[in-house]
Every structure is written in structure tokens, then in C-alpha cells.
Amino acid sequence: MDSKRAVRTAVFWGVSLSLMSTIIQFENVGLRYGPGAETLSDISFSLVTGGFYFLTGTSGAGKTSLLKLLYLAQRPSRGVLRLFGEDVVMLHRSRLPGFRRRIGVVFQDFRLVPHLSTYDNIALPLRVAGLGEDRIAEPVREMMEWVGLGDRADARPATLSGGEQQRVAIARAVIGRPDILVADEPTGNVDPDMAQRLIGLFEALNRLGTTIVIATHDLPLISTIAHAQMMRLDKGRLIDPTGSLRYPPGHAPAPVEEGRA
């Protein structure tokens, strides 16, 4: 009896710890595309597993660049970047796919595969992960319904509207239930109702434990997520130089313990 209880206690603390653990950590990260000034400078922050984060900033501030570092499309020029507790800067490229499979991405320019149908585009992460077709059809159908594209299964991206393409991109990013979801302006091309619906999708994913990072200009959207935290970029720097996160106005700050798994 006692041992069972001990196990339960241990599991409780283990889960709590993992929930509170740092999943993304930037330490003095800088990014330089070519010669000239750094696009990102001295970026330091930590994001907690299961958190919901917004990244804002004016156009050209470096939001997409920061997200690219996050989804491993770019290596930082300096600094330390840890994902899931591991330094990914020096990581051998053969180990990158394993990390990337745990990260879902909604690209600012969607990046749908042009010759693939809606169905096949959404199924892509599952196929890359090696799932059999029998385990793919059901979730893909469900996801298409969720983003309101149930009747466009066979449509090519070129025949879809901007908003529809965006929804395909979102469906593709979330279908694999990633540990981290990174979305770059995911509601830029849809009407407010659809934007609300898509945010609902992100929230549902967040409740399942996925850490969400969304770059957006849409401040009203940010205020709809009660527990979300916000980072602001300005000319390649995080505005709060201490590296702690700002909270959207009108919401009490949540605790920011930084346990380490």
C-alpha cells in the first residue's frame, strides 16, 4: 500500500516537474544571415513545457527569424539554444530529424507541397513518421473537418484560397500532436470567426500538453487566451532585456518556475 502511494507521489511530482520544465531555452543567441548587422541579437528566454506564448513585433523585427531557429531551419550564429533540454547548436545533422518530428510548424508562407492534394499535404507528417495508411486516414479526415475543409480533400493548393491554404498548413502542423507547435502569423488570412476557431484548435492542443509559440500582430487575439504569455521583439532584440516574459495586460502573471527535467 505504502509503496503504491510512494509511486503515486513520485509520478505526481514527476509529472509536475516535467510540466514545469524548460522545453525551449535561448541564451545570448545571435543570428546573422550574411555580412552586416545581426538580425537577432542577445536573445535570452526560457519557455516552459505546456506554455502558450505569443511573439509580437513590427514587421521586420525578426519574428520569423527567431521561429526558424526554433524549428531548426537555421542554426544560430552564436549563443546556446536548448530544445527538450539538449543543446541543438552543435547537434549532428543526423539527429535533427528526431527533434523536428516533435515540432509542428505553420509557416508564414504556408509551404504546402504544390502537387499534393489537401489530404496528402495534411497526411505528410504522419507519413514522414512512418505511420501506416490505416492509421492516417481517420485523423486526416477528422482534421480536415476541424479546419472546415472536409469537402476539399482532393484540391491542390493552387486551387485553394489564401485562407484555405492557411488552414491546410495549420492542420498539417497539428496533426502529429507535436510537443512544440510553432505558428508564424497563423491567422493572417482568415476572418475573425475562423481565427477564433483556429485559436481554439491551438488551445485544445495546448491542453493536451503541447507548448505553443505563435508569432502574430493580432493583439485582440492574444487577449483571448487567458494564460498566454507574450514576448516582444524590436529590431532583433527582445524588448525586456532581463529575459523574463511580459504578460498581456489585464491578466495576473502565472508563476514562472524553471524546473529542469
Partner 1 sequence: MSRVDNPRRAAAAARNRLLPEGRVGGPMPWVIAIMMFLTILAAAAGLGLANGLWTLRGELAGRSTVQLVEADRVVRDALAQRIATRLRALPAVAAVDIVPQSALADQLRPWLGEAADGTDLPVPALIDISVRPEASAQAMAEIRTALNRIAPQTRIEAHAAYLAPVERLMRSLMWLAALLVALMLVATGAVVMLAARGAHAANRATIDILHLMGATDVQVARLFQRRTALDALFGGALGLVTAAGAIMLLGDRLAATGSELTGLVHLPGWAWVILPLIPVGAVLLAMLTARTTVRRALERSL
Binding status of residue 64 toward Mg ion by CB under 5 A: yes
Instruction: Choose the one of ligand ATP, Mg ion, partner 1, none that binds residue 162, judging by a C-beta under 5 to 8 angstroms depending on kind.
Output: none
Cβ contact 166:110 at 8 Å: yes
DSSP string, 157-201: GGGS-HHHHHHHHHHHHHTT--SEEEEESTTTTS-HHHHHHHHHH
Of the pair 61, 140, the CB lying nearest ligand ATP is at 61
Instruction: Choose the one of ligand ATP, Mg ion, partner 1, none that binds residue 96, judging by a C-beta under 5 to 8 angstroms depending on kind.
Output: partner 1
Binding status of residue 63 toward ligand ATP by CB under 6 A: yes
Binding status of residue 55 toward ligand ATP by CB under 6 A: no
Instruction: Choose the one of partner 1, ligand ATP, Mg ion, none that binds residue 59, judging by a C-beta under 5 to 8 angstroms depending on kind.
Output: ligand ATP
Binding status of residue 59 toward ligand ATP by CB under 6 A: yes
Find the radius of gyration of the CA atoms of the chain.
19
Cβ contact 201:209 at 8 Å: no
Site for partner 1 in 67-106 (CB under 8 A): 71-75, 93-94, 96-102, 105
Binding status of residue 62 toward ligand ATP by CB under 6 A: yes
Binding status of residue 65 toward Mg ion by CB under 5 A: no
Q: Which residue number has the CB closest to Mg ion?
A: 64
Cβ contact 160:118 at 8 Å: yes
Taking the complex as a whole, how short is the minimal distance between the CB of residue 47 and partner 1, in angstroms?
Answer: 20
DSSP secondary-structure letter at 95? G
> Which of 38, 82, 58, 108 lies closest to 239, judged by CA?
58
Q: For binding to partner 1 (CB under 8 A), which residues are involved?
A: 71-75, 93-94, 96-102, 105, 111, 113-116, 119-120, 123-125, 127-129, 132-134, 137
Q: For binding to Mg ion (CB under 5 A), which residues are involved?
A: 63-64, 108
